[in-house]
Structure 1
Amino acid sequence: MAQLRDGFQSRIGFVLAAAGAAVGLGNIWGFPTQAANHGGGAFLLVYFIVIFLLALPALYTELYLGHQAQSNPVTALRQAWQEKAPKIGAGAGYMGLCGAIVMLSFYSIVAGWMLAFSLEPLAHVFGFEKLSQFLKGDSTLRNFIFTPLMLLLTASIILKGVKSGIEAWSRRLMPVLLLLLIALIAYIATLEGAAKGFSAYLIPDFSKITDPDLIIAAMGQAFFSLSLGVGCMMIYGSYLKPNENLPKLTLSVAALDTGVAFLAGLLIIPAVFVAQHNGVQVFQDGKLIGEGRLIFAVLPELFSSMGAIGLWVGMTFFVLMSIASLTSTISSTEIPVSFLVENHGLDRRSATWWVTGVIMVVASLIILNFEWLFGLVISVFTQYQLPLMGLFYFITVGWMWKRGNQLRLECKGFHYWFAQYVRFVCPVLMTAVFLNVAIK
């Protein structure tokens, strides 16, 4: 079966696809908000340290599991726990599978909002004011139009497979995302108030670096921003050729993802200070206002204050956000699709439409019960499932898996100490992340 599997044909294709999986709304709106609320430059410095201490080993661990198994997460984790308790491994794989479905359900709703906001300036330019108000309004109808639209965009790429779909489109979308991001940063930098934002973001207040809340927030953000804990990286790792240099590829993916998060901060935080300079309220009780209001109220208000150019800046921003959303939904959709293809013998076309249909059903339930279900689903997924699955991966490689134990016993020098680090230190760090979010 391994020989028949589709896979990545180039290293750059894999790096762009894996970084695209990681680069999403968490990077472009979550990371800047965390930075703004936790000391700006101090958070940035601690974040870079934590990426090296926690996120890199976690990314390597998940890629390693998939790469060694050359299979989807359910099969990979079952094999990893084969000698101890294969049902536990498979159960964790199914949990990740369900998590991917749940994540896609709420993520596709938010991605649909981004798509609607990216089209709104065009409606305004052509004089369709009612359509413009509908696109930027909050309605059940809008959700039922743009959520399936985002799912169909995702399915159209997944249908083409890894090489012709995921890899080909990642090679197109990621460079466009980077160009749009850099262009927006360059423009925002010319506006009054931006300099104050750059200072707040780039100059650390060293007195805040030892703040426990800041450190734990940086650990959580580093883990979540790399899209770890669901199985995205595991399935992408399984599509790599057996002789690939996994440590080097891990560094490349983490560097690109971290670079995008850094650039997102260079865009959002100065934009927030520009908005504040223009009289828009952006802070409340010393904290940046909630991410939802920031993206869908504060920044659009800023774009409106720019006049005619603001329409195009706003459209560019939300196109950027839509691309970031799409690169993430592609990777998450591939998890259940690969499971149905490999474990149940479905062809890719049937598997893709089955998965898309199930996601739409779950998303519809969330839309129809939005007030209480949307926040609950996000909270359970991000605060509990992701850190617990990350902890499970560390335990799997460090303690339960024969290959992991062989790595620990036979490696010498740096590789030996890295194996010990994954075995002892990383589980402690992940437990700290989980306990922090659980208590809060």
Structure 2
Amino acid sequence: MSAPDAVIDLDRLAPEQPPARLPPRTRRRLLVAGTLALALLLPAAAAAPAVPLVRPVRTVWVDGGATYQLLGDTLYVTERGSARPRLTAYPLPGGPPRWSVPITTAAGPVQLAELGDVILISTPLPGPPVTPHVEAVDRRTGAVRWTSPLSLTGLDRTRNRVVLGQPVRIDLVEVSPPGDIVAVDAGTGTRVWTYHRPFGCLADLPDAVTDRRTPLAVLCADGELTAVDLDTGRPRGGTRVGPTGIILGSPAPSVVAALTDRILVSFPVEAGGWTVASYDPGLRPQWTLHLRFNRPGVAPCGSRLCLWSAPDLLALNPGSGAVAWQLTVSGTASSLGGYVLVEQPSGRTSWLVDTGTGRTLLTLAGWTARGSSTGPPVFYRSDALARRLWVAVLDPGRSALRVLGSVPEPDGDTAGCTTAGRYLVCRTVKDAVQVWRIGVPG
């Protein structure tokens, strides 16, 4: 310790007898020992262990067929060990379950969503043998607030409403059956409005509505595109698009996709390929684009709008429809937290692509990527020999992965891992689910 860093004790103690004088050699030995002890203690204090970047939060013991999902600060586990499935809420970082209640979903998987102070329980793919059903339970107590025989269409987060409807199992405009679409108050289930979708029409809504301008988009086989106001459930405008309906003697699988700030309509053309047309929420035409191959999948990706029409992956300027970059992909492509993840069919190698430029940032061999709407992408890789799961995030320069650490993985299986915000949850053994807190640097 240097002189400026020394601490002087100014307290005045009562006078006492000085200690007996030590022989010179003994004093020298004690001074040397004290100096060595101080030299050892100071580096130890300077190198005090940092907080682990992957820290265990809690372990939940479950039955073999249980499913689980992280929402906010809670792990929800669905178990089917009894006649009726049970949903249990485990708070993070620990403590006893917040509640455990039976749910009325009869069979098949369930999906969970959080809106306001309710948890919505629904079936992701209604159809035989699963019937549509939505159940809303209180987030704090698990008490049932309301139920509906309809399926979940979307969450209107701007108005705290749930949009429900009758599922369409065949997405052909010409043969789409009629059905009602209703909006209910999320907390009470009280119906706010009803819109009747006519025969031969398809409707679409973003999974989560975050902009009050976003409408319910309805496309009919006669070429009419309607924007339905989510405040009132009444049409607020319409326009003609086309062609829809019969192409080359067969029903054309024309598709409507409602995004936050636009409506996309895609349809095949007799000359070959597909046409995509973009409209703003008020149905003013924005742009059209011709695709060489198949009906496209659509997803916002960073500042771009990505269209996936195998084998082409196109990133567009959303305002003009101009192609910013294009890739030919032999595997699959998906949006990942502001990036595009391109995976080979084997799944062994993938590429992380910058959405702004189309440039490959990273080649990932053996790493699995998971995205979250509330946190950065997380990457993990199984080490079967060490029976560990390595966890990583992108470094600040986006040029490499930064490994945060590893977690025990007794079963060697990463298929059951998922992320939400700063949490990682995995099925570690047959009857256990483990949650870790990820401390992302910076």
TM-score bin, normalised by smaller chain? under 0.3
TM score, norm. by length of structure 2: 0.18
- Report the structure, 1 or 2, having the larger helix content: 1
Who wins on radius of gyration, i.e. which is larger?
Answer: 2
TM score, norm. by length of structure 1: 0.18
- Report the structure, 1 or 2, having the larger strand content: 2
